[in-house]
Structure 1
Amino acid sequence: MVKPICIIGTGIGGLTTGTLLANEGYAVKIVEKNSKLGGRTVSMKFRNHILDNGFHIMPFYKKSAIFTVLKLVGIENRLNLTTVDKISFFSDTGFHKYPKGMGDLLRLSLIPFKSRISLLKILLPMAFASMQKTESRDNLSLTEVTKNLDPKSNAFFEAVCMLAFADSSEHISLGEFARTIIRANPFKGGTSEFAYPVDGGYDSISKVLANFIQEKNGEINLNTSVKRIVIENSVVTGIVTFDDKLIKTNCVVVSYPAYLALNELFEKNIIDDKFIKKIDRLNKKTSVVEVHFALNSKLDSRQVVFPVGDNYVTKGIFFISNIAPSVSPLGEHLMITGTPVSSLVAEDPQKIKQIVDDMKKEISIIYPNFTSSLIWERPMAWNLVESVVKEPGMVWKSKMPHQIPGIKGLFFVGDSTVSYGIGTDSAAHSSILCHPKIVKYLDKKLS
């Protein structure tokens, strides 16, 4: 007899896995330690504004892994999305339109024409390469192809990395960058579109998935922490919650970072120490300082602006209420700014305050009405932001495998598990790749 499949976590990885399984008639039970759905995409209400946990957009829109899951189960129309396409750079020469394709790159006013040709020579071979070919570049840094470019072209690459990876080019695998370019190439079926929920709050995606799972008689239990996954004779037999309740199951799917789960959820000697140490190397964190600003006037009609150049502390300005007006009350406007920092900076209140002050000065230069329009500000420092595993040698097939050899009924999904892309799209892609493996195991139990 196949008992309900237990999924640990209601982030995008857990919910897309639960959606695919529930759609095929499998009994699904999801447990979540927090009081809200969404994992790292959870949002909150603050002074009548909807604030996301960081800035999130759905990359590649209808070609995204999340949208693929929604289409597979026939609920893509339940998620109301708006495209994020009014994107610009800002430099000492003013605003410059973000290029959506190679043709736009030729017209990019941010950099000299000769530099645009140099960029095309780098980007065109990537855009038309195969996904398989990109794997040979997974151990290389993006700087391998950008180190000889002129300063303005390098600054352009840095701004692109902020949009695509929320990090600097030295931390980005060349292979992962190439896959991003391929997925944006319309000649290979890709798109450069981005999207955000119309109703505000990126966890709207999680709510749509959760509702579908419950409609299919799936069970979602919030405020339920897991103490241990029970393995007997190399086979999963259940999970134990922190109130010592045993939930019997033949199949467990872990949907939060495996390098945490392997050290937290198993009795000693269940998982080989060498395997744990191998996965521990993926425990790479990105620290950021982000500030939400509420304003009483609309500073810009654009949705996203990237200040370009090393002289700017602010690496991204996101006008959330320009994307989805519903995030803010009538007459107010919401924006969030962000910059990557070291973990030491994220732990230092004085340094955080200095960064926020620098951001405000920069924004005031770009938008002279900023200071007079400011109602309130809410700084956040994330010392343990998601491990997107985007660094050389830690991407795509070098991530945590979906299964541990020799253990039956145990599966792992999420953005640190075998998948390409980063964040939510990576988590959904991981679920798509893992799903056939879970089904094959379950069908064997039934036969």
Structure 2
Amino acid sequence: MSEPVVIVGAGVGGLTTSALLSQNGYKVMILEKSAQLGGRTASMVFRNHVLDNGFHIMPFYKKSAIFEILKKLKIDSKLKLAKVDDIAFYSDDGFHVYPKGMLDLLKLSLLPLKSRLKLLKILLPLAFTSISKSESWDDTPLTKITKNLDSDTNAFFEAICMLAFADTADHISLGEFTRTIIRANPFKGGTSEFAYPDNGGYDSICNVLSDYILENNGEIHTKQSVNKVIVENSKVKGVFITNPNGEDTFISTKCVVISYPAYSALNQLFDKNIISSDFIKKINQLNKTTSVVEVHFALKSKIDSRQVVFPVGKHYTTKGIFFISNITPSVSPKGEHLIIAGTPVLPEDTENPLKIKEIVTRMKQEISSIYSQFEPSLIWERPMAWKLVESVVKEPGKVWKSKMPHHIPGIDGLFFVGDSTISYGIGTDSAAHSSILCYPKIESFLKN
């Protein structure tokens, strides 16, 4: 195939797919509308601190789909990772160690023994079930198994959901929760370890992948917005792009891989009647948002040696405190420290400056109640609010095999990857997993 495979988007899904294609000798051309690689993982430097676009973490560490791809490409050594394993809960009576395995639940000082045993009775069967069995629970809400638990145990569940899904338990499918428990079970080859790039910025992963693609004769073009995918007689013919000068250019190709949320692409990139309205309507149901307020704080002193702390209890607005500079000091200049605190909010709150200010004030008060040295150490703060990551749907009936398929039957040469497509998990690891699942289909098409 002399024409390149065109990849739309340079996030984790687009870059992992491109790297797998490059490894096997296929010519790829990545078109990214922004000036920076990384998609939702793109970071920035602010006052000499490396700030992520929200808090990202590599789940399941060396068992993750991202790490699997890096290892397959033989570039895992190029990404130095720091373990994120010093995690704790904080309740009104102090700090409690985060359980790293099922048996650790018996030592969980956050809960009375009776509650720990009840929790173990619920979680143990989930951890040892099969992935296929978990599919039968994809339409079931997680709250079905938590609704009768006492308030303290439910608060523990909420903290677990914030770590695994960045959301509350009532938004999560039991099937998706079960797959997370399975993947964390060491007796089934899993791990509960997490990781973060040691040199700072979660988009370091994307930079390593992009270097590999360029070294293997791939092309990466930023500030190139794809505005239409041309399909004729049920076959992909090419794409129209708009460059920074506003000029439209046609790029001929028989294969296009779209790596940003499918419901957006289906509504934006195709002429009418190319894709059925019923199919688009079905995929549009995945257009869900998790709205958050997160605040980066720069401090002049180290207020905790831990890496992550989850305040437990409904009275806490703050749902997670991430000590980024404790994970890796490279994110901050010498003598300064970086933390980020976050909480899910209502979508309308993200557009209300007064509400955001109120939430940030409560979060600062709560962190000060936990750490008396927080306020005296504070150098600056940078709040962010957004309707986050439209494609990380984890609601009942909208997970894994209910997501966008990788290929639309009847259209040759059109593929979809990313965390909005068929894959378990959410976020960056789901995007990489989606690439692993989709790649054989792309390669089969190219060979034929």
TM class by smaller structure: over 0.9
3-state SS, counterpart of residue 37 of structure 1: coil
Q: Find the counterpart in structure 1 of residue 51 from structure 2.
A: 51
CA contact (8 A) 2:307 2:326 kept: yes
Is residue 331 of structure 1 aligned with residue 349 of structure 2? Answer: no
3-state SS, counterpart of residue 340 of structure 2: strand
Q: Find the counterpart in structure 2 of residue 402 from structure 1.
A: 406
Indicate which of 331, 348, 357 corresponds to 2:352.
348
RMSD: 0.6
The amino acid across from 2:170 in the alignment is: E
The 10-residue stretch of structure 1 (182-191 or 1-10) with the greater mean CA deviation from structure 2: 1-10
Q: Find the counterpart in structure 1 of residue 439 from structure 2.
A: 435
CA distance in 2 between partners of 1:333 and 1:95 (Å): 21
Give CA-to-partner distance per residue, 1:54-103, whole Å, 9 cap, x none. Answer: 00000000000000001111111011000000000000110000000011
Indicate which of 207, 230, 248 corresponds to 2:252.
248
TM-score, length-normalised on structure 1?
0.99
Where in structure 2 are the equivalents of 1:34-433 lying within 5 Å?
Answer: 34-242=34-242, 243-433=247-437
Give CA-to-partner distance per residue, 1:108-160, whole Å, 9 cap, x none. Answer: 00000000000001100000000000000000111000001011100000000
Q: CA deviation at 1:383?
A: 2.1
CA distance in 1 between partners of 2:365 and 2:124 (Å): 38
CA distance in 1 between partners of 2:38 and 2:206 (Å): 5
3-state SS, counterpart of residue 406 of structure 1: coil
Q: Report sequence identity in percent.
A: 69
3-state SS, counterpart of residue 68 of structure 2: helix
Give CA-to-partner distance per residue, 1:342-370, whole Å, 9 cap, x none. Answer: 11111110000000000000000000011
3-state SS, counterpart of residue 401 of structure 2: coil
Q: CA deviation at 1:387?
A: 2.3
Report how many residues are paired: 444
Structure 2: gaps spanning 5 or more residues: none
CA distance in 2 between partners of 1:271 and 1:318 (Å): 43
CA distance in 2 between partners of 1:192 and 1:383 (Å): 28
CA contact (8 A) 2:287 2:390 kept: no
CA distance in 1 between partners of 2:155 and 2:2 (Å): 55
Is residue 13 of structure 1 aligned with residue 13 of structure 2? Answer: yes
3-state SS, counterpart of residue 309 of structure 2: strand
Structure 1: gaps spanning 5 or more residues: none
CA contact (8 A) 1:288 1:385 kept: no
CA contact (8 A) 1:40 1:386 kept: no
The 10-residue stretch of structure 1 (189-198 or 379-388) with the greater mean CA deviation from structure 2: 379-388
Q: CA deviation at 1:2?
A: 4.5
CA contact (8 A) 1:386 1:423 kept: no
Give CA-to-partner distance per residue, 1:273-302, whole Å, 9 cap, x none. Answer: 000000000000110000000000000000
CA distance in 2 between partners of 1:411 and 1:314 (Å): 39
CA distance in 2 between partners of 1:412 and 1:437 (Å): 11
Give CA-to-partner distance per residue, 1:191-233, whole Å, 9 cap, x none. Answer: 0010000000000000000000000000000010001001011
The amino acid across from 1:247 in the alignment is: I
CA distance in 1 between partners of 2:400 and 2:169 (Å): 17
Pair 1:192–1:201, CA change in 2 (3 A): same
CA distance in 1 between partners of 2:439 and 2:189 (Å): 24
CA distance in 1 between partners of 2:155 and 2:420 (Å): 28
Give CA-to-partner distance per residue, 1:377-399, whole Å, 9 cap, x none. Answer: 00000124342111100001000
CA distance in 1 between partners of 2:194 and 2:123 (Å): 20
CA distance in 2 between partners of 1:121 and 1:2 (Å): 58
CA contact (8 A) 1:22 1:216 kept: yes
